[in-house]
């Protein structure tokens, strides 16, 4: 299933997403991720911390759900995630590059309701983190790693 064009354009990097995975006991796990990019209309790519419960769950059961939240934008995505690259080069801590094949797209917007999406900024003295993030987004947007 294809994500709509405006959602793909929104997912250029730096947007807050809630990613849900399932553990071995079938229990849900959610985490916030900002290193998420739409590679194309059918693929979302994520930088997942190697130490995270989310990545552990993705390795065990690739089923994921993602809530994408922005101004006047609220989408639920479901799909299957796989690790495409075990260790990303651009991240400041060890992360795997995870690709999610989108299988369902649901618009959670409602007529007459204006949704305001979450935002984040960097504290004074930490502005350099924006440059680090930009490198992560470039790596995520790149072509899939050769297998």
pLDDT of 145 > 90? The answer is no
Give the pLDDT mean for 15-36.
94
What is the share, in percent, of the chain residues with pLDDT greater than 90?
69
Give the pLDDT mean for 83-101.
96
Instruction: Please give the domain boundaries of the chain with CATH numbers for all domains.
Output: 5-141 (2.30.110.10)
pLDDT of 146 > 70? The answer is no
Pick from 21-25, 62-66, 105-109, 143-147: least confident: 143-147
> Which among 134, 49, 56 has a CA at the least distance from the CA of 97?
49
Detail the DSSP E strand segments found in 1-147: 17-22, 28-33, 36-40, 43-49, 63-70, 73-85, 95-107
Q: What is the pLDDT of residues 2-11, one digit of tens each?
A: 999 999 999 9
């Amino acid at each position: 299933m294809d994500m709509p064009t405006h959602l793909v354009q929104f997912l250029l990097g730096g947007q807050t997403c809630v990613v849900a995975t399932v553990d071995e006991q079938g229990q849900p796990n959610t985490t916030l991720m900002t290193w998420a990019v739409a590679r194309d209309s059918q693929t979302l790519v994520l930088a997942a911390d190697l130490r995270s419960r989310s990545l552990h769950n993705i390795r065990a059961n690739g089923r994921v759900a993602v809530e994408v939240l922005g101004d006047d934008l609220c989408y639920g995505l479901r799909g299957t995630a796989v690790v495409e690259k075990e260790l990303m080069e651009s991240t400041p801590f060890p992360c795997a590059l995870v690709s999610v094949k989108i299988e369902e797209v649901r618009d959670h917007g409602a007529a007459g309701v204006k949704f305001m999406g979450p935002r984040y900024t960097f504290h004074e003295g930490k502005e350099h983190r924006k440059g680090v993030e930009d490198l992560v987004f470039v790596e995520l947007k790149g072509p899939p790693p050769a297998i």
